[in-house]
Amino acid sequence: MSVFTLQTTDGQARRGILRTAHGEVQTPIFMPVGTRGTVKALCPQDLRAVGAQIILGNTYHLYLRPGDAMIARRGGLHRFMAWDRPILTDSGGFQVFSLSALRRITEDGVSFASHLDGSRHLFTPEKVIAIQTNLGSDIIMVLDECVPYGADYTYTKQSLERTTRWAQRCRNAHPQDSPQLLFGIVQGGFFLDLRHESLRQITEIPFDGYALGGLSVGESKAEMLDILNAIGPQLPAEKPRYLMGVGTPLDLVHGVAAGIDMFDCVLPTRNARNGTLFTSQGRITIKRAEYAEDDTPLDPACPCFTCRTFSRAYLRHLYVTEELLAYRLNTIHNLTYYLGLMERVRHAIEAGTFQRLLAEMEDLYDR
């Protein structure tokens, strides 16, 4: 069986099936972020209940604590966290560039100081493949440099060319017949010609899938959409396409409209912990006084455990008093919303009504 089967399209939007060592994933799909071996506040049974098909783990965090060799000795990340469906791990590069200190990039790789204890570490392309092999994730990512927003043309060009050389070294370090799928990443900052150049270079390397990286780093929505709409549809059609670290519900639908199959973002889980909840009627800030005596469900249209069981008044009380239960209930709801949205997207593509769903989401979130 091939890694990816494209079932049908509606414009650029694609309905497909991604096959991994831990089972199939129906695409387009959103992947909840489980940074350190848990999607914060949820257990694997909660993840199944909200409809999660695949989750993401962060290599940087797991490498530092509890350590990838320790996880390998436990039988891998799936067994360690008791999650038997697919897992994708990032390369750790993004966290090195966003969290760690004293970074130094050379041709060999990137050295950095841990944000936990200042200890020094080196991530090379070969090293991040070895770490992700230890983690045993189903989909692993190449080491790339995510250039900061505002980086100039010369630096961005040098960086994307190094990212290509690192991608080739990752490919060389990882057997093509491994059950762990390896994805390449297109970079190039916010220069359209550099994005096309990176696309050309990365897609020359035979990866199992291709990701679009370096977006949602501080740019405007218009800048993001320019890159997304130019590059998304040009990614290889026969392989899964992954938009990294993006984004809002509307961003996801725009991504699908540009031919993207896979998404991840901390937004639904982080927002849940901050009391910002997504509903069929738009965003709700649960701490607001207007919900203090509101006996209705958070979202009457939502089938999740939180909405079936509790009122807005109770959820507001839990949030205001900083009760631990608030984080779990809010996270269950926001992930149900995100995963339900992706299910609606899949049905709309199948029915040829994706443009209508896109217009509906623009109406809901742009107003």
Distance of CA 172 to the CA centre of its chain: 25
- Residues 329-358 binding a second copy (CB under 8 A) are 329
Residues 276-304 as b/e (b if ≥16 CB within 10 A, e otherwise) read bbbbeeeebebeeeebeebeebbbeebeb
Catalytic residue among 10, 90, 208, 251: 90
Q: Which is nearer to a second copy, 87 or 110 (CB)?
A: 87
Q: Which stretch binds a second copy (CB under 8 A): 17-25, 37-45, 174-182, 232-240?
A: 37-45
Q: Has 138 been annotated as catalytic?
A: no
Sign for the CA dihedral angle at 267, 270, 272, 277 comes to negative
Out of 3, 9, 48, 74, the only residue in the binding site for a second copy (CB under 8 A) is 74
Dmax (CA) for the chain in angstroms is 60
DSSP sequence for 203-245: HTS--SEEEE-S-SSS--HHHHHHHHHHHGGGS-TTS-EEETT
Q: Which is nearer to a second copy, 228 or 272 (CB)?
A: 272
Number of residues counted as binding a second copy (CB under 8 A): 35
Q: How far is the CB of 158 from a second copy (least distance, A)?
A: 36
The Cα angle at residue 276 between residues 340 and 367, in degrees rounded to 5: 75
- Binding of a second copy by 43 (CB under 8 A): yes
- Residues 299-328 binding a second copy (CB under 8 A) are 305, 309-311, 313-314, 317-318, 320-321, 323-325, 327-328
Out of 292, 301, 351, 359, the only residue in the binding site for a second copy (CB under 8 A) is 292
- Binding of a second copy by 40 (CB under 8 A): yes
DSSP sequence for 143-169: ----PPTT--HHHHHHHHHHHHHHHHH
Catalytic residue among 10, 138, 264, 299: 264
- Cβ distance 140 to 132 under 8 Å? yes
Q: Which stretch binds a second copy (CB under 8 A): 72-80, 121-129, 154-162, 215-223?
A: 72-80
Out of 2, 23, 70, 296, the only residue in the binding site for a second copy (CB under 8 A) is 70
- Cβ distance 138 to 22 under 8 Å? yes
Q: Which is nearer to a second copy, 35 or 203 (CB)?
A: 35
Q: Rule CB under 8 A: which residues touch a second copy?
A: 36-38, 40-44, 65-66, 70, 73-74, 80-82, 292-293, 295, 305, 309-311, 313-314, 317-318, 320-321, 323-325, 327-329
Active site residues per annotation: 90, 264
